[in-house]
Amino acid sequence: MNETKAPIFTPFNIIAGVILAIGGYFTIMRFTGGLGAVTNLTDNNPFGIWIGFDVLCGVALAAGGYTISTIVYIFGMKEYHPVVRPAILTGFLGYFLVAVGLVFDVGRPWRMPYPFLVSHGYTSVMFEVAACVGLYLTVLFLEFVPSVFAWLKWTALHRLFIKMTLALTILGVVLSTLHQSSLGSMFLIAPDKIHPLWYSPYIPVYFFISSIIAGLSMVIFESTLSHNVFKNIISRGEHFNHDRIVVGLAKAASLMMFGYFGIKVLGVAHGNHWDLLDTPYGYWFLVEMLGFILLPCILYAVGARTENATLVKVTSVIAILGIVLNRFNISIIAFNWKLPAAERYFPSFGEIMISMMLVTIGILAFRWIVNRMPILTDDLEAAHRARADTHTAPAQAN
């Protein structure tokens, strides 16, 4: 009997390889020629997609880790336990890639430890963001390692770290609350650069609440993809429970989006910016508000009310796009809105490819880990058998 391994040159692997090769080329250019060799960043436009997407979107979309951990371990909703480990893995990989993205964006990345060791700027909001992100990345790693110990069959260490779960969850919630809101606080120093419809003293609150929405939506989206791509690892009963889980998460997401929409309206009222709605930027603001906040809010509510898991899964994509759009609006589109069009920022091809490279690395790492560790199922042996089944072909006659 001959075994045939799964082919290496699949369409996905070929596309991923091309992205990694191009991204690797621009990575070499970035660290040999500096930021100017790859990016379109200037002194007037310091925030590009490496901040707008890799950091702001990355941190928000990785919020599923603390969101689901809070639901399960603090509020005691054990029915959502099946999505805890995938959410923590997604969060860990997301925050790790955020840190890698910062290495690309910072002009002198070798001096990143400097504020912690030499500088005394501990009151800086950017220092607080860096410290909390670093600490929370450590917390996510400690929450993830029980899966590694289970894979390695290190039972004693596995049990030890499982006992630390509640303490790590509480610490993770505290750190996430701080840095999710502080990312918004970072923009409070630029009232003249951000369009008034997006600038508000409530930006820290906006960022924190929208991170919860992003976390819930990302868990729905990621778990849906996992249940389709890795369906041989997951039992039929877990597939059924998944639909019940996403419907339950939709209820929470709908409530959070309703509150988010309300405080965004209050922000417009607080600044008395109603007249700005009848401008080109105002129309774009309404697209974000109505199409990517209110619409998914209603769709989540309908999906939860009718227990329509398919509608919930589709809505999660709209909600995620809405979070990405919001972060782009604040950091790029509505930033420096007074500058002439010729002086506005637009990402270079190199910036885009490096961002795509980081996302691809995250997807490949997720696939590698899920295929080997008990992430989507408690039964590690069953996962290994299912993986073996997908990588073998029927016997061929000699």
pLDDT digits (tens, 9 = 90+) for 13-66: 999 999 999 999 999 999 999 999 999 998 888 889 999 999 999 999 999 999
Residue pair 180/327 in contact (Cβ under 8 Å)? The answer is no
pLDDT at position 248 over 60:
yes
Band of pLDDT at residue 386, cut at 50, 70 and 90: very low
- How far are the Cα atoms of 20, 281, 385 from residue 37, in angstroms, in the given order? 19, 32, 48
Percent of the chain with pLDDT over 90: 67
pLDDT at position 2 over 90:
no
Residue pair 30/37 in contact (Cβ under 8 Å)? The answer is yes
Find which of 108-117, 120-129, 140-149 is predicted with most confidence, using mean pLDDT: 140-149
Residue pair 94/61 in contact (Cβ under 8 Å)? The answer is yes
Q: What's the rounded mean pLDDT across residues 273-301?
A: 97
Average pLDDT value for the chain: 88
Q: What's the rounded mean pLDDT across residues 298-325?
A: 96
Q: For 175, how many CA atoms within 13 A lie in the half-sphere containing its CB? A: 23
pLDDT at position 378 over 80:
no
Question: What is the per-residue pLDDT for 28?
Answer: 96
Region of poorest pLDDT, from 6-20, 80-94, 246-260, 321-335 = 6-20
Where does 11-336+347-379 sit in CATH, by number? 1.20.1630.10
pTM reported for the whole predicted model = 0.89
Question: What is the per-residue pLDDT for 237?
Answer: 52
Band of pLDDT at residue 238, cut at 50, 70 and 90: low
Question: What is the per-residue pLDDT for 3?
Answer: 40
Question: What is the per-residue pLDDT for 25?
Answer: 97
Question: What is the per-residue pLDDT for 392?
Answer: 46
Residue pair 143/176 in contact (Cβ under 8 Å)? The answer is no
Q: Which has more confidence, 238 or 85? A: 85
Return the residue matching tokens 């729905």. Answer: 220
**Could you give the 3-state DSSP secondary structure of residue 335?**
strand
Q: What is the spatial distance between Cα 93 and Cα 140, in angstroms, rounded to a whole number?
A: 9
- Quote the tokens at residue 166: 């509640």
Q: Residue 135: which of 66, 74, 222 has the closest Cα?
A: 66
Question: What is the per-residue pLDDT for 383?
Answer: 46
Question: What is the per-residue pLDDT for 394?
Answer: 40
Band of pLDDT at residue 196, cut at 50, 70 and 90: very high
Q: What single-letter DSSP state applies at residue 334?
A: S
Band of pLDDT at residue 111, cut at 50, 70 and 90: confident
Handedness of CA 365, 369, 371, 377 (dihedral sign): negative
State pLDDT tens for residues 344-375. Answer: 999 999 999 999 999 999 999 999 999 888 88
Residue pair 247/307 in contact (Cβ under 8 Å)? The answer is yes
pLDDT at position 249 over 60:
yes
194 forms beta bridges with 335
pLDDT at position 387 over 60:
no
- Radius of gyration for the chain, computed over Cα atoms and rounded to the nearest angstrom: 22
Cα angle: 97, vertex 101, 104; to 5 degrees: 145
The alpha-helical segments, DSSP class H, found in 64-121 are: 64-69, 84-105, 114-117
Query: Cβ neighbours of residue 102 under 8 Å, at least 6 residues apart?
Result: 54, 55, 109, 112
